[in-house]
Amino acid sequence: MTSKPPFFAAPEKLWVSDIASIAGLAAPAVDFEITSVGPLETAMPDQLAYMDNPKYLSALAGTSAGVCFVAARFSSQLPATTLGLIVNNPYESYSKVLARFYPEALSPHSNFGSSNVSATAVIHSSAGIAERVTIDPGAVIGPHARIGAGTTIGANAVIGPHVRIGCECSIGPGVTVTNTIMGDRIILHPGVRVGQDGFGFVIRGKGHLKVPQIGAVIIEDDVEIGANTTIDRGANRDTIIGEGTKIDNLVQIAHNVVIGRSCIIVSQTGIAGSTTLGDFVAIGGHSAIAGHLNIGDGVQVAAASGVMHDVPAGERWGGSPARPVSDFFRQYKTLEALASRRSHLAKNGGL
């Protein structure tokens, strides 16, 4: 296998005292240079690692990392050759340093290393393009569209008529955006589809009647949407994605859905039409949310759940059909006990 090419520029070295400062810690008694980061298993003495999961205790004990962010409860497992920086949230501290090492990895840039408008992009004469906009080859900008300052439009992306895209956004290769208003600092990864028809039909025996979808999609500031996710425009009201929400790859969001602020929606989730999610909702992967529901603020839904009823604020639900997690585990244990009892009876002739 050939060596890995330099997908990201080599980082500038940081002193351990710099790393501690980024994490909000006092400078340690010893200070030396750290060149980059690495996983516990392969990190070298000039690299930084982190550990916040008990599944990796053995990796922590055997690491060669020069420095490691670690929670206090695991710090006794650090080898003598590794300097431990004790923090409440090792992953958060590690992420801050990682951003310092590799700032260009925070947001996708032009695949062509460009900072201007490609001669092969197709831009309608009525479109408005602000300063510092990058448009890669093959992209299409439709009539009366507006692209904000500092935004990058990837190769072969299509921005439809009258679409509004804010400042410092990243629109990945092959993305399509129609019937949409977007805020600032939004990331759409490759293949995202936003603003297409919602799935609306009058179901009838003589053939299904298509219902015109006349709403839009509103995406607020600092939203990130993963590759190949689809967000349908509203039927008679707008589909809304709230500020700071992060959506994984391969998620389907149907027409009229309203998602609150700072939600997390993990891959292969589907949210049916006209459902509303409050703020800070977390939906585990491969979950299905039925239509016309209200999911309250701070709700957590376990992976592979099927939500068919409203969920009150702050609750944790799981299973299919989903129910409060305490009920889910109680029923699971009951079924497990019944299965064990049945097996016992079968082995003992029904006694």
Residue type present at position 205: G
In angstroms, rounded to a whole number, what is the distance separating the alpha carbons of residues 293 and 279?
15
Query: 321 preceded by cis ω (within 30°)?
Result: yes
Residue 189 bears catalytic tag? no
The three-class DSSP label of residue 71 is coil
In angstroms, rounded to a whole number, what is the distance separating the alpha carbons of residues 283 and 105?
25
Residue in the structure block whose two tokens are 């297409």 = 196
Pairing of strands 158-159, 140-141: parallel
Query: 6 preceded by cis ω (within 30°)?
Result: no
Q: Per the residue annotation, which of 255, 286, 292, 309 is the catalytic one?
A: 255
DSSP, res 61 = H
Radius of gyration from C-alpha coordinates of the chain = 25
The answer to whether 307 touches 289, Cβ cutoff 8 Å, is yes
What's the token pair of residue 341?
């009892």
In angstroms, rounded to a whole number, what is the distance separating the alpha carbons of residues 47 and 13?
10
The answer to whether 293 touches 277, Cβ cutoff 8 Å, is no
Phi, psi of 333 (to 5 degrees): -65, -35
Residue in the structure block whose two tokens are 């299904």 = 208
Closest CA to 253 of 242, 235, 269: 269
What's the token pair of residue 203?
């179901």
Residues annotated as catalytic are 255
